[in-house]
């Protein structure tokens, strides 16, 4: 039975963090839904926050993380915290307690902690492997957008399901996305980890026993029905910063984004410019 203990705690902690100033939500407005509702485009009201930097190396916000954002410790390896700059309320980060590189391989502990949270509070998980895939921090963290029981994980849920059942790849995006269906009867961390490794091998991202790090940037998306790996070559196109959520159907426009080109050419054209098909 899903109790959503972590979700309830995230909402409570969000209220406290707002009052203390630790949480800074990013206000947005929905501009339009296009392409048969496969994409939701939001525009940021105002500017993106300026990340604080020290003289010299960039400050690591996760070592340690702000305890005012902490939801819970997960196993011995991770902490579950609030995203400091959320667009959606209760946006959570699963962060390694000790330093692990974002551009390294995910390991079994990452998936054990993911499953621990997901068995209680489920939704759309995503991971940006490096700056070319949209990662903003070099310290390893997975992200969770909670979804209600029975609701779709994202606007492009049907698209991912269709890709998982066909080998007929017709465009740059489908040739960059590798999807496996998940068995609903199991929610096993080892099985999910093995699916991740299989996707890495199938997509030519590499494998841990042969490659020190993944040989190319990628996004990972996980929900109860499927897991997807997307090969990436760059983060930004026409002023849009694209991370894993872009492929899930969520596009965020800022003052630097060229909306005229997006409207003229469409969202799929935007995504096709940042992937690395094989």
Is there a domain that residue 277 lies in? no
Is there a domain that residue 264 lies in? yes
Whether the predicted pLDDT of 138 surpasses 50: yes
Is there a domain that residue 52 lies in? no
Is there a domain that residue 53 lies in? no
Is there a domain that residue 67 lies in? yes
- The CATH number for 189's domain is 3.30.428.70
Give the relative orientation of helices 108-118 and 189-202 as an angle to the nearest 10 degrees.
130
d(C-alpha 9, C-alpha 59), whole Å: 27
Is there a domain that residue 197 lies in? yes
> Can you tell me the mean pLDDT for 222-242?
97
Select from 199, 204, 198, 201 the least CA-distant residue to 216. Answer: 204
Please count the structural domains in the chain.
1
Q: Which domain holds residue 132?
A: 5-47+62-272
Residue recorded with tokens 């040989």: 215
Is there a domain that residue 170 lies in? yes
Q: Using 50, 70 and 90 to split pLDDT, how confident is the model at 166?
A: confident
Q: Using 50, 70 and 90 to split pLDDT, how confident is the model at 32?
A: confident
Is there a domain that residue 54 lies in? no
Burial class (CB in 10 A: 0-12, 13-18, 19+), 120: middle
Give this prediction's pTM.
Answer: 0.94
């Amino acid at each position: 039975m899903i109790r959503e203990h972590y979700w309830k705690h995230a909402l409570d902690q969000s209220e406290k963090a707002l009052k203390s100033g630790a949480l800074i939500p990013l206000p947005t407005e929905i501009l339009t839904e296009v392409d048969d509702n496969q994409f939701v485009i939001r525009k940021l009201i105002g500017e993106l926050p300026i990340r604080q930097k020290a003289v010299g190396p960039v400050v690591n916000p996760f070592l340690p993380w702000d305890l005012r954002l902490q939801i819970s410790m997960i196993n011995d390896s991770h902490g579950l915290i609030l995203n400091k700059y959320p667009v959606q309320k209760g946006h959570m980060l699963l962060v390694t307690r000790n330093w692990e590189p974002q551009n390294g391989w995910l390991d079994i502990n990452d998936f054990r902690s993911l499953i621990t949270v997901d068995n209680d509070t489920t939704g759309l998980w995503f991971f940006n492997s490096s700056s070319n895939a949209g990662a903003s921090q070099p310290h390893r963290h997975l992200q969770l957008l909670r979804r209600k029981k029975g609701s779709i994980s994202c606007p492009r849920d049907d698209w991912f399901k269709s890709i998982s059942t066909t080998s007929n790849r017709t465009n740059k995006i489908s040739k960059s996305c590798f999807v496996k269906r998940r068995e609903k009867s199991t929610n096993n961390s080892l099985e999910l980890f093995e699916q991740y490794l299989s996707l890495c091998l199938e997509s030519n991202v590499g494998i841990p026993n042969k490659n020190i790090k993944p040989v190319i940037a990628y996004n990972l998306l996980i929900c109860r029905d499927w897991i997807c790996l997307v090969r990436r070559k760059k983060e930004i196109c026409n002023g849009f910063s694209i991370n894993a959520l872009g492929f899930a159907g969520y596009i965020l426009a800022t003052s630097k984004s060229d909306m005229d080109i997006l409207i003229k050419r469409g969202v799929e054209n935007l995504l096709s410019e940042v992937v690395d098909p094989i």
